[in-house]
Structure 1
């Protein structure tokens, strides 16, 4: 058995965490040979609920769960952290403008960024789930200058999972038979889910999805719109935002980062743009990546059609606007 690693979950008393924590404790994220110490961070009013969550974790009686610390203190939570799931964020309320949402989240992610900078391992892997995830990750990174920018990521894996599931349903195949769907851009309704490089395995052979689904109009309209609006559709049906599926996606994101992607396959992660595909530098933009030895690389050389470029421009513009508004708050 390896030495236990410290795994932090913020917003630990919330619904996403409730579904995520079992995955972490059971070894589905970091592997069956990796014990973990859970560091559960939330605000003081949630400590009573968090106590109940800890009781349930204890009652799981899982061998990989070495230690549990519930806390409202960022220093205690982030000390020697190896992996971090930032689930907690200020949700957008009815009538709230984006600048107000960003201002509220700057306060949250400033505190967490500073604590990460001081107390976490310098190779810590951070995935931001709390929305607006891309720009929250950018803010957090700003306040943790000693941690490499590439260690801060935003989750768009939920969008990727949604896209794979919709394609698999449309094709009548298992979800695992659909690969290399790409989510470009922001985790918002401007994101661009692309099937241009997606493959489907059928009858022991692999074919481009665009060949098997010979309906360019469906792929470029209904498919795109359903993925863009899926979160809103879940809220309308459930009266609450996605929790179980978001937790699964967060686990998927970190598992691939920790263990690596399969040969020939790539996944979507919100990462700091290096200018690839003409995307403005230094925004957190969802891109296709491959991962090996806990390091991701942006997939290069993918063809971008004029239609796709128009979609990338829209989502990049939104992220630049978010960055500008966040920077205005940071300077106050």
Structure 2
């Protein structure tokens, strides 16, 4: 990070720690990184944060300490959760993971989150209706086992968080890399404007979420810019889950703020 200069257009902050770093250490380190970005990086730099520990908080600390860079240039990756959700759905439907798209991850990427399938699509599914390779069908209409969706599926995705840290760093790094490539393709206008990606971005109050926290939510890219999807349905049950994630993220930010005051 100390080698940041104004000729760099992309900064990847990827840390696959086996054990969660303390908030104090993360706060100190990422404040410093943010100041370096502010002082030395090109103002159109893209900063992507990935990992399995405090991803939202790290992204928040970076953008807060780099005020000269547009906050929209900082994003956190929800790659591992999204990939695992797609993989479990693909297994259930006997298709490839790549054939499942538009799974949404809301909330705290490395904490309390919610996997949302309302826009998820499946390609190459051999059901009652069959079409060409670009023909897709809604996942929620193809999986008739609602009990599995509401229990086993969510438990499988949740348990994955506990096992990610025990995986080899190589495996988790590959997953992060694939996600980063997908985001960069979208950012550089090399993907469909209809594609849905989940990114940790600075909330400005979308969907009545608290402003000022980095929150994973669904976005699409067009002309090199992302925008938050505006037509996602938020049920009362889902609202409660998002509120839990928001409260957790605010607690992380408050703890980071207190540790800074203690060391001042």
Q: Output the TM-score relative to the length of structure 1.
A: 0.70
Deviation at 1:78, TM superposition (A): 3.6
Cα distance in 1 for partners of 2:140, 2:206 equals 24
Following the alignment from structure 1 to structure 2, what is the Cα–Cα distance between the partners of residues 103 and 90? 16
1:233 to 163, 169, 180: 163
Cα separation, partners in 2 of 1:235 and 1:137, compared to 1, 3 Å: closer
SS of the equivalent of 2:75 reads: strand
Unpaired runs of at least 5, structure 2: none
By how many angstroms is 1:173 displaced? 1.5
Contact 1:235 1:241 in 2 (8 A): no
Structure number with higher relative contact order (C-alpha < 8 Å, ≥ 6 residues apart): 2
Per-residue deviation, residues 261-314 of structure 1 (Å, max 9, x unmatched):
414221111111121111111111111000122210000021112222222111
Give deviations 1:31-82, integer Å, cap 9, x for gaps: xxxxxxxxxx5xxxxxxxxxxxxxxxxxxxxxxxxxxxxxxxx1x3343220
- Rounded Cα–Cα distance in structure 1 between residues aligned with 2:156 and 2:40: 41
| Larger Rg, first or second structure (1 or 2) | 1
Counting matched residue pairs gives 253
Provide the residue aligned with 1:276 in structure 2. 206
Report what 1:106 is aligned to: 27
* Corresponding residue number in structure 1 for 2:7: 80
Partner of 2:194: 264
Where does residue 46 of structure 2 map in the other structure? 125
Post-superposition shift, 1:240?
8.5
Conserved in 2, the CA contact under 8 Å of 1:133 and 1:187?
Answer: yes
RMSD: 2.2
More displaced stretch, 81-90 vs 128-137? 81-90
Deviation at 1:198, TM superposition (A): 0.9
2: distance between equivalents of 1:177 and 1:184?
21
Give the TM-score of the pair, scaled to structure 2. Answer: 0.87
Distance verdict in 2 for CA 1:237–1:263, change over 3 Å: closer
Match of 1:199 in 2: 121
